[in-house]
């Protein structure tokens, strides 16, 4: 093979690699971003080891839509506010870098409070009904069955929550939180094991989440492995993959 042909072949390969990386960057920035679940704060909706797609276009775009969150502009473009009940990925307000995933509970202007384990929105108790208990880990990583409920938010969105400590958990009684304009109140479905908007930033919590910190809405679980199992261990997939969670929509 002539030297010129070799150089041309290398150039074509580099061009293909560059184009593939560019396409991947565009898809990740403007359409869908993969995200994996590292904690149990959204059990039973999301489990440790779930891998899901987050739609970037749902809420429009901010600095946090771009990898590494460079400060290119303020606010959001093509903005569309989240709906109550959405499961959303956002950047932790106190550092602007760490990804969190929680459920949107409070909208701007809402008053949110927990009393004896029950959620109140604008002074009205949010209805819930007991359903079959979920088998999960307690705070000591012991397998156990925990109280489980179907909770229905204003607007009719229903989802499942668990109460590992019943209605006497650490954050089951709070003061009234009034959500500021342009911010949202986020909570985990694992109510007694979620550091969320009920915990202020100066205590290591989330606090209110600015609209511009939202990254996107969780849409679809595309892969799932058992807790602590490496996703790259292909030879173990027949036993470690949770096949029943594949291609499950996030609700």
- Active-site residues, by number, are 41, 102
Q: What is the mean pLDDT of residues 50-55?
A: 95
Least confident of 15-19, 69-73, 76-80: 15-19
Q: Does the pLDDT of residue 107 top 90, yes or no?
A: yes
Q: Does the pLDDT of residue 72 top 80, yes or no?
A: no
Q: What is the mean pLDDT of residues 140-146?
A: 86
Q: Does the pLDDT of residue 233 top 80, yes or no?
A: yes
pLDDT, position 137: 83
Whole-number Å distance between alpha carbons of 153 and 176: 17
- Can you read off the two tokens belonging to residue 239? 């036993």
Neighbouring-strand partners of residue 53: 34, 220
Q: What is the mean pLDDT of residues 143-162?
A: 95
Q: What is the mean pLDDT of residues 175-181?
A: 97
**Mean of all residue pLDDT scores within the chain:** 89
pLDDT class of 15 with cuts at 50, 70, 90: low
Neighbouring-strand partners of residue 136: 144
Q: What is the mean pLDDT of residues 218-223?
A: 96
pTM beyond 0.85: the answer is yes
pLDDT, position 211: 96
Domain 31-249 in CATH: superfamily?
Answer: Umud Fragment, subunit A (2.10.109.10)
| CA proximity to 172, closest of 160, 162, 184, 180 | 162
Q: Where are the domains of the chain?
A: 1-30, 31-249
Q: What percent of the chain has pLDDT over 90?
A: 71
């Amino acid at each position: 093979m002539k030297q010129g042909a070799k150089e041309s072949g290398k150039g074509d390969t580099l061009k293909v690699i560059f184009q593939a990386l560019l396409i991947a960057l565009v898809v990740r920035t403007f359409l869908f971003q993969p995200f994996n679940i590292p904690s149990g704060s959204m059990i039973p909706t999301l489990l440790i080891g779930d891998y899901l797609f987050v739609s970037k276009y749902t809420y429009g775009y901010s600095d946090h839509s771009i990898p590494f969150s460079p400060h290119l502009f303020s606010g959001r473009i093509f903005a569309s506010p989240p709906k109550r009940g959405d499961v959303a990925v956002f950047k932790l307000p106190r550092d602007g870098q760490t990804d969190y995933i929680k459920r949107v509970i409070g909208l701007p202007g809402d008053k949110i409070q927990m009393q004896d384990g029950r959620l109140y929105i604008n002074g009205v108790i949010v209805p819930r009904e007991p359903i079959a208990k979920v088998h999960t880990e307690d705070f000591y990583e012991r397998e156990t069955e925990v109280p489980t409920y179907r909770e229905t938010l204003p607007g009719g969105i229903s989802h499942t929550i668990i109460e590992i400590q019943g209605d006497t958990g650490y954050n089951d009684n709070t003061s009234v939180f009034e959500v500021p304009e342009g911010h949202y109140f986020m909570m985990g479905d694992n109510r007694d094991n979620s550091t969320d908007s009920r915990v202020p930033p100066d205590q290591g919590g989330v606090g209110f989440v600015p609209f511009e910190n939202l990254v996107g809405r969780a849409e679809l679980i595309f892969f799932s492995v058992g807790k602590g199992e490496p996703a790259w261990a292909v030879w173990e997939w027949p036993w470690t993959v949770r096949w029943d969670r594949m291609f499950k929509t996030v609700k």
